[in-house]
Amino acid sequence: MDSKSLFKKAQTLMPGGVNSPLRACKYVQAEPVFIANAKGAYIWDVDGRQYIDYVHSWGPQILGHQDPAVSKAAHAAIDLGSSYGAPCYGEVALAEEIQRLIPSMEMMRMVSSGTEATMSALRLARGYTGRNKFVKFIGNYHGHADSFLAAAGSAVAATPGTPGVPEEVVKHTLLAHYNDLDAVKAHFAESGSEIACIIVEPAAGNMGLVLPNDGFLQGLRDLCTEHGAVLIFDEVITGFRLSPGGAQQRFNITPDLTTLGKIIGGGFPVGCYGGKREIMEHMAPVGGVFQAGTLSGNPVAMAAGLATLKRLQDCDYAALEARTKKLAEELTAIMTEKGQAVSLNHIASAFTMYFSDVPVTNMIESGNCNADAYATYWQQMLAQGIYLAPAGFECTFTSFVHTDEDFEKTLEAARKVTF
């Protein structure tokens, strides 16, 4: 079946024909292509068309698809069984490696998605402090647990309104714009003794890429320390992408808890939350805060994740950052030459070129971008074999396997886009 036929059938079976809203490509006014296979920096659709992939499964595939070491580890693991529902070596090995790379994670718990990681970290912060309120940032996306679906980013930003979330739940969710430290200070001035935690994307990737202003993260750190609240870094995107030790290593700020996902699964379903031992020991079965999962610590996913982290040690983050910066700046220059108002945010192997005439530092500016221009750009890049995130509230991800030739083909395609 070709993509169109598959999509037609899929829409009779799944809402919007997809298992995750972003994939429906509604934001870019297009239909999704169905992917048949992937290798390295490339994906192929069911009609045999090849694309240079800059979505990379929304972040996990920083080594490229089917990295040989990762695939070998996963195949070896599956030959030993797919799931035991009991402790296994892989859980210990991956946890030990994560702890080595992110020392603030003195103790941790594996789960099966980033959503599970953040919802568990929030429950833990509430259980540890005995407080219910928490601060999140407008445009930050922490997965789809009810408490987070107030002014979230990513697909939520692209689909306004989230029925099914009771007001009683989100009334504890205190909102502030990203980079607005004064708004957070005001929340603490009013409710400091009731605030369990702040959860923040230390570099935001779900309103497009938005970087923290100087002093923003340190200000959050200081407020949490002063008021006995837990600082949670949601590093589901930034973990092992911004540096070998994630955003907390890059920005030299130590959170109390960290959530991870994506890259640590090597393409398999893995999430993780962890941090200070004295906080984590409030989790069952040691403490009273409950969380569980049938496939948590799955041996195949653990093996793929560990192989991924081991491979990343040999990768040159600085070189990829420089190459990514060059690609992003050249794309921006091409769009500018075409008369488009664009602004660029970039860090490490992630960037967002906004169709905006102002720099983007929060969700207000991100939400004011020219969605039609992005849709035009996306459609014409896809037609030329370049697969970008089908939404303006996402990042463009490069990987350690994208070649300079891939980047040049991407620039060549951009030069041919007409508005």
Please list every residue from 390 through 409 that binds ligand KE4, using CB under 6 A.
394
Q: Is 348 exposed, middle or buried (0-12, 13-18, 19+ CB in 10 A)?
A: buried
Question: Which member of 26, 133, 136, 262 is catalytic?
Answer: 262
Nearer to ligand KE4, 101 or 247 (CB): 247
- Using CB under 6 A, which of the segments 70-78, 86-94, 108-116, 318-326 binds ligand KE4? 108-116
Tell me, yes or no, if 141 is annotated catalytic: yes
Tell me the chain's radius of gyration from C-alpha atoms: 21
Site for ligand KE4 contains 237 (CB under 6 A): yes
CB of 368 to ligand KE4, least distance (A): 20
Question: Which member of 141, 178, 317, 387 is catalytic?
Answer: 141
Site for ligand KE4 contains 141 (CB under 6 A): yes
CB of 23 to ligand KE4, least distance (A): 6
Separation between Cα atoms, residue 206 and residue 348, nearest integer Å: 16
CB of 314 to ligand KE4, least distance (A): 26
- Using CB under 6 A, which of the segments 77-85, 109-117, 272-280, 286-294 binds ligand KE4? 109-117
CB of 405 to ligand KE4, least distance (A): 28
- Selected binder of ligand KE4 within 3, 61, 115, 376 (CB under 6 A): 115
Site for ligand KE4 contains 113 (CB under 6 A): yes
Over the window 267 to 296, marking each residue x when it contacts ligand KE4 by CB under 6 A and - when it does not, the resulting string is: ----x-------------------------
SS (H, E, C) the chain: CCHHHHHHHHHHHCHHHCCCHHHHCCCCCCCCCCEEEEEECEEEECCCCEEEECCHHHCCCCCCECCHHHHHHHHHHHCCCCCCCCCCHHHHHHHHHHHHHCCCCCEEEEECCHHHHHHHHHHHHHHHHCCCEEEEEECCCCCCCHHHCCCCCHHHHHCCCCCCCCHHHHCCEEEEECCCHHHHHHHHHHHHHHEEEEEECCCECCCCCECCCCCHHHHHHHHHHHHCCEEEEECCCCCCCCCCCHHHHHHCCCCCEEEECHHHHCCCCCEEEEECHHHHCCECCCCCECCCCCCCCCHHHHHHHHHHHHHHCCCCHHHHHHHHHHHHHHHHHHHHHCCCCCEEEEECCEEEEECCCCCCCCHHHHHCCCHHHHHHHHHHHHHCCEECCCCCCCCEECCCCCCHHHHHHHHHHHHCCCC
Site for ligand KE4 contains 253 (CB under 6 A): no
Strand order in the sheet with 396-397: 343-347, 350-354, 396-397
Over the window 168 to 207, marking each residue x when it contacts ligand KE4 by CB under 6 A and - when it does not, the resulting string is: ---------------------------------x---xx-
Site for ligand KE4 contains 142 (CB under 6 A): yes
- Selected binder of ligand KE4 within 45, 91, 234, 365 (CB under 6 A): 234
- Using CB under 6 A, which of the segments 24-32, 76-84, 88-96, 139-147 binds ligand KE4? 139-147
Over the window 46 to 75, marking each residue x when it contacts ligand KE4 by CB under 6 A and - when it does not, the resulting string is: ------------x-----------------
- Selected binder of ligand KE4 within 7, 17, 22, 121 (CB under 6 A): 22
- Using CB under 6 A, which of the segments 37-45, 140-148, 310-318, 408-416 binds ligand KE4? 140-148
Tell me, yes or no, if 262 is annotated catalytic: yes
Nearest residue to ligand KE4 by CB is 114
Tell me, yes or no, if 234 is annotated catalytic: yes
Nearer to ligand KE4, 14 or 76 (CB): 14
Catalytic residues: 141, 234, 262
Residues that bind ligand KE4 (CB under 6 A): 20, 22, 58, 113-115, 118, 141-143, 154-155, 201, 205-206, 234, 236-237, 261, 271, 394
